[in-house]
Amino acid sequence: MGPDAEELAARARRRYAEARRIGVEAARKHEAAERWRRRFEADLQARWQDVQRRAEAITAGATKPGLSLFDADFCQVSDPDAISAALLSAALALTRAPMGNVQLAAEDGLRIAAQHGFDADFLEHFAFVRGRDSACGVALAESRAVHVHDVEQSEAFPAGPSRDAVLEAGVRAVRSIPLIGDGGTLLGVMSVHYRTPHAPSPAERSLLTTLATAGARRLNRPAHST
């Protein structure tokens, strides 16, 4: 075999080796993409099943007895406290938070309309909220959601009676969401409380925001309206 033929053969071998390498790399990337797709689909299915279980818990009244946000009778109700109780029940079922409350606007402050899991000392301290020394107080003053991942580390709870009352109740994390009615009117604040530091997932934030919007709409409208 002459020099030219040997060079051509060498080039052919190099091209074949390069094509083989590219093929192996493409197969590896395809398998990695397939593994990611399978994991993503499994995670999505698990999340959807979890949402379904939580929705079933709401409709079954698993959190507490009383009116459910999704009962047919819900649109017949005009009592703000009953609406608040149904809203809170749904929020606790969706988040699995052990404690929570719904406060309604009153006299330039907030009064507790529904609560679950708190003792008398906590309820007495937060019977009426007007200041900015708590998550719900900041939500009231600024009409925005307040996320407290750890009460002990948060500026939303400066040293003082409110911080002490929350910690003594066994609360370490809070999420307070304003209930905004038509025209931007603040109707109240919905809060869920956790016993350990907690950072809500994007899905949890979205669910509670949607729930707060639905609750505010119900509070803002007379009975029988949709």
pLDDT tens-digit map of 27-77: 888 888 778 777 767 766 676 666 666 655 554 544 444 444 555 455 566
Q: What is the pLDDT of the chain when averaged over all its residues?
A: 81
Distance CA 123, CA 103 (A): 11
Contact status, residue 193 vs residue 152, Cβ threshold 8 Å? no
Residues 149, 171, single domain; the answer is yes
Mutual angle of helices 80-95 and 202-220, in 10-degree steps: 170
pLDDT band for 189, please (50, 70, 90 cuts): very high
Residues 189, 84, single domain; the answer is yes
Counted domains in the chain = 2
Contacts of 104 by beta carbon, 8 Å cutoff, 6+ apart: 80, 81, 84, 110, 111, 113, 187, 188, 219
pLDDT for the residue 155: 87
Residues 74, 165, single domain; the answer is yes
Residues 55, 96, single domain; the answer is no
Q: Where are the alpha helices (DSSP H) in 143-201?
A: 161-168
128 found inside a domain: yes
Share of the chain above pLDDT 70, in %: 79
pLDDT for the residue 219: 84
Residues 84, 48, single domain; the answer is no
pLDDT for the residue 211: 87
Residues 56, 133, single domain; the answer is no
Residues 49, 77, single domain; the answer is no
Q: Which domain holds residue 127?
A: 67-220
Selected residue with higher pLDDT from 66 and 94: 94
Mean pLDDT (whole number) for 146-165: 91
| pLDDT tens per residue across span 98-107 | 999 999 998 8
